[in-house]
């Protein structure tokens, strides 16, 4: 598959649009797909990570007609998906881009205009698919909310590995307002930190294109505690994960902090961030500060640092809000698995709206025959289970969809690590009228795509012939009481590692 990303970056605009496109392109690369970035000439200098990537870069004009002519001339193979992340491209321009690509995906966070697209992504906290009713074609799939956030794949890998850091071991303050920060919110945040009197080390992140980089660097040289300025860092996630508190803007970086379980205070630095800030605040996943009121910001930071329990609550809410696997979920929509008949199959996170549907499935004849608890739950018990499951960040409850219709349930429960690898127990249910259609096998393949580096194991009753056949066909191997699937490249025949599984 070929995907073309039409996006851009500059010191004034920032790097966010390109970085989230780059995150998706990197996930697609892992699926064997090719990506081309169609950008402005100033974009690579603004986003060094794009230049370091293996993706092809083409320079195009801002005018849609001219851009299409350039891309048509330079790209000789069919374009399966055009991904547009650009505020300057409107409905009329999207219609022009139809000449280039079979399908169009639009990344938006404004909800203020119509789009001609086949898939729309708005990863903003609190965003719902119905927010775009009437703004996209009836056939378009809308992926909404932080479950689909396009974070660097390293964040999903961090959550997969389950590397908790005790809050008592964290002391540093993490500060970042984007790669360019043209209005120097970094400086204002340093004023707030100085007023708060926080004692720990400070790590500040900027890009090489940031206009106030030297000013910030000079200030940190005289900082009262240890302070480090990181320029175009490739190690940001590890510094972030070890931080006591993060201070930053309400863009993608706010969701990165949530994913890592790092409590944060966020400042709205642009009007298009207000909705996201409201969503994060409603989820109790951060505190909002106003950097025009440095005294108030200082008081907020000082108060949080003095309340370990509040910090822990914010961290837990953040982990529930965003798990860093959004790029993998979006890729399932762009490159779905296929049933035996060739129908598209993907996973989506279950929501509270799926409660009655799942209960109806559980009540289907024979569905619970081989379950650990074969009794069908009553509505109250099921409702309590559903609420607890959706509020547990270590359980991934997924709905299996075939051609847009909900046809099953796939659940992944975190279990103790197996050797050096994270482990999840997998259970799957396909509605009776869709059994033997290859949907279960596609669902298990999607589970592997959702958490590629984990060991999966399933407990299957000896008399459950359909499940035994399904898991065997998906490559699961019997090992004692379990049926196991190892990630690609793992030491499946390593006796020492396998021995730890039963230790």
Domains of the chain: residue spans and CATH: 2-144 (3.40.50.11190), 154-321 (3.40.50.2000), 336-500 (3.40.630.30)
pLDDT of 222 over the 90 cut: yes
Parallel, antiparallel, or unpaired: how do β-strands 119-122 and 34-39 relate?
A: unpaired
Residue 495 has pLDDT above 70, yes or no: no
Q: Is the pLDDT of residue 9 over 70?
A: yes
| CA nearest to 227, candidates 163, 172, 309, 147 | 172
Rounded CA-CA distance 304/78 in Å is 53
Query: What pLDDT, in 10s, does the model give residues 55-97?
Result: 999 999 999 999 999 999 999 999 999 999 999 999 999 999 9
Whether the pLDDT of residue 197 is over 70: the answer is yes
- Res 492: pLDDT: 57
187 vs 177: CA distance, rounded Å: 10
Q: Kindly indicate the confidence band of residue 434, based on its pLDDT and cuts at 50, 70 and 90.
A: confident
DSSP state of 158: H
Query: Per the confidence metrics, is the pTM higher than 0.85?
Result: yes
Does residue 1 surpass a pLDDT of 90? yes
> What φ, ψ does residue 425 adopt, rounded to 5°?
-85, 135
- Average pLDDT value for residue range 413-419: 91
- In this predicted structure, what is the pLDDT of residue 163? 58
Q: Please, what is the average pLDDT of the chain?
A: 93
What's the count of helices (H) and strands (E) in the chain, helices before strands? Answer: 19, 21
| Average pLDDT, integer, range 194-211 | 93
More confident residue, 498 or 219: 219
Q: pLDDT tens, 314-348?
A: 999 999 999 999 999 999 999 999 999 999 999 99
Whether the per-residue pLDDT at 168 is higher than 60: the answer is: no
Q: What is the pLDDT of residues 267-293, one digit of tens each?
A: 999 888 899 999 999 999 999 999 999
At 493, is the pLDDT very low, low, confident or very high (cuts 50, 70, 90)? Answer: very low
Average pLDDT over residues 129-145: 97
Measured between alpha carbons, how far apart are the two ends of the chain, in Å? 44
pLDDT for residue 57: 98
Question: What pLDDT digit, counting tens, does each position of 12-48 carry?
Answer: 989 999 999 999 999 999 999 999 999 999 999 999 9
Q: What percent of the chain has pLDDT over 90?
A: 85
Q: For position 270, what pLDDT does the model report? A: 87
CA distance 431 to 259: 32
CB 306 within 8 A of CB 200: no
Q: What is the dihedral of CA 249, 253, 257, 260, to 10 degrees?
A: 180
Predicted confidence (pLDDT) at residue 491 exceeds the cutoff of 70 = no
């Amino acid at each position: 598959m070929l995907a073309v990303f039409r996006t851009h970056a500059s010191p004034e605009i920032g790097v966010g649009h390109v970085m989230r496109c780059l995150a998706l392109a990197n996930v697609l690369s892992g699926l064997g797909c090719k990506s081309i970035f169609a950008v402005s000439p100033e974009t690579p200098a603004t986003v060094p990570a794009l230049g370091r990537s293996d993706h092809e870069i083409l320079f195009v004009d801002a005018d849609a007609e001219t851009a299409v002519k350039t891309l048509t001339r330079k790209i000789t193979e069919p374009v399966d998906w055009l991904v547009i992340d650009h505020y300057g491209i409107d409905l009329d321009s999207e219609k022009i881009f139809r000449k280039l690509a079979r399908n169009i995906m639009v990344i938006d966070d404004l909800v203020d205009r119509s789009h001609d697209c086949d898939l729309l992504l708005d990863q903003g906290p609190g965003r719902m698919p119905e927010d775009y009713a009437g703004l996209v074609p009836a056939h378009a799939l809308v992926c909404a909310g932080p479950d689909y956030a396009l974070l660097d794949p390293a964040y999903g890998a961090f959550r997969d590995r389950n590397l908790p850091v005790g809050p008592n071991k964290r002391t540093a303050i993490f500060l970042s307002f984007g790669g360019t920060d043209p209005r120097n919110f970094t400086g204002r945040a340093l004023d707030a930190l100085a007023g708060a009197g926080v004692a720990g080390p400070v790590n500040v992140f900027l890009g090489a294109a940031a206009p106030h980089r030297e000013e910030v660097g000079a200030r940190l040289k005289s900082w009262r505690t240890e302070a480090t300025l990181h320029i175009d860092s490739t190690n940001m996630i590890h510094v972030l994960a070890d931080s006591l508190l993060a201070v930053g803007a309400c863009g993608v970086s706010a969701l990165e902090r949530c994913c890592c379980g790092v409590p944060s205070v966020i400042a709205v630095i642009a009007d298009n961030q207000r909705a996201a800030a409201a969503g994060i605040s409603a989820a109790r996943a951060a505190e909002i500060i106003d950097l025009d009121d440095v005294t108030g910001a200082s008081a907020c930071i000082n108060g949080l640092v003095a309340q370990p329990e509040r910090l822990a609550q914010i961290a837990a809410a953040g982990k529930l809000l965003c798990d860093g696997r959004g790029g993998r979920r979006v890729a399932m929509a762009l490159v779905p698995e296929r049933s035996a008949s060739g129908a598209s199959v993907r996973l989506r996170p279950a929501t509270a709206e799926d409660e009655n549907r799942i209960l109806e499935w559980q009540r289907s004849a024979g569905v619970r025959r081989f379950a650990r608890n074969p009794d069908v739950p009553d509505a109250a018990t099921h409702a309590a289970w559903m609420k607890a499951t959706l509020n547990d960040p270590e359980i991934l409850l997924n709905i299996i969809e075939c051609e847009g219709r909900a046809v099953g349930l796939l659940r992944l429960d975190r279990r103790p690590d197996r050797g050096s690898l994270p482990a999840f127990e997998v259970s799957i249910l396909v509605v009776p009228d869709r059994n033997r259609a290859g949907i279960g096998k596609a669902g298990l393949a999607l589970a592997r795509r959702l958490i590629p580096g984990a060991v999966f194991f399933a407990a299957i009753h000896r008399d459950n012939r359909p499940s035994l056949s399904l898991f065997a066909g998906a490559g699961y191997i019997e090992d004692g009481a379990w049926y196991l699937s190892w990630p690609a490249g793992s030491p499946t025949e390593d006796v020492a590692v396998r021995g730890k599984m039963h230790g």
